[in-house]
Amino acid sequence: MMVIGHRGCPGLRPENTLEGFAHALRLGVDAVECDVHLSSDGVPAVIHDASVDRTTPGRGAVVEFRMRDLRRLGVPDLDAVLEEVGGRAQLLIELKAPGTAAAALKAVEDHGLLDSTTFLSFDLARLERVRSLAARARTGALFSGTEGDVVAAARACGAAVLDIGHRALDAPLLAAARAAGLAVFTWTPNSEAELRAQVALGPDGVTTDHPDRLLALLGRRPAG
């Protein structure tokens, strides 16, 4: 089971920061997940929300800032995250906004990290865009729940991974996804009870704010 640090490890360090990613790597995660928007000058900026209000001292939409100004607010660009993570763990990049597919893919290819990166999105057209630009790119289809046939939808967009909210995953869905040739990830169980349930179920990867707790449950140190 892959242990995936959600936005780094926000249970322990600020989310989507170089500090958070570095700490997740020190814990021993298999992968880290980050989110990407575009700055006004077209640079992939690693931040979850469409605005900077919640996670920085600034105010306003991410797309209204140049990347140099976002850096001053503590928002790293994707290049910096790729330099931090590359060669040390796998990277999952959630494409949060229009235009992010091409920009994020270029950054990943420029760093030679295509083989260790999975591109995620709830917008399945963005995943199709990634694969139209790089056929061997690995993509993961994000779903909150099981509205419709999520396995068929993931396959239809060419995804290799079905990444679903942990409360929606059960044994039949896990079996159906694997029968369709999909890896299965879940997000974001954080309590010990939620994490134990995922360990018992056995998806291929678990994305959590507390990778320290999951590593401990798996007997791979951390926690405490």
pLDDT tens across 18-55, in order?
A: 999 999 999 999 999 999 999 999 999 999 999 999 99
Q: pLDDT at position 197, please?
A: 98
The partner residues of 46 in beta bridges, in order of sequence, read 36
Q: Where are the beta strands (DSSP E) in 61-174?
A: 90-95, 117-121, 138-143, 161-165
Q: pLDDT at position 146, please?
A: 85
Domains of the chain, start order: 2-43+78-217 (3.20.20.190)
What is the average pLDDT value for the chain, to the nearest integer? 97
CA atoms of 59 and 40, how far apart (whole Å): 15
Q: What is the pTM of this model?
A: 0.97
Which distant-in-sequence residues (6+ apart) come within 8 Å of 88 by Cβ?
25
Residues of the chain under the 50 pLDDT cut: none
CA atoms of 179 and 177, how far apart (whole Å): 5
Radius of gyration for the chain, computed over Cα atoms and rounded to the nearest angstrom:
17
Which distant-in-sequence residues (6+ apart) come within 8 Å of 43 by Cβ?
67, 77, 78, 103
Q: pLDDT at position 147, please?
A: 80
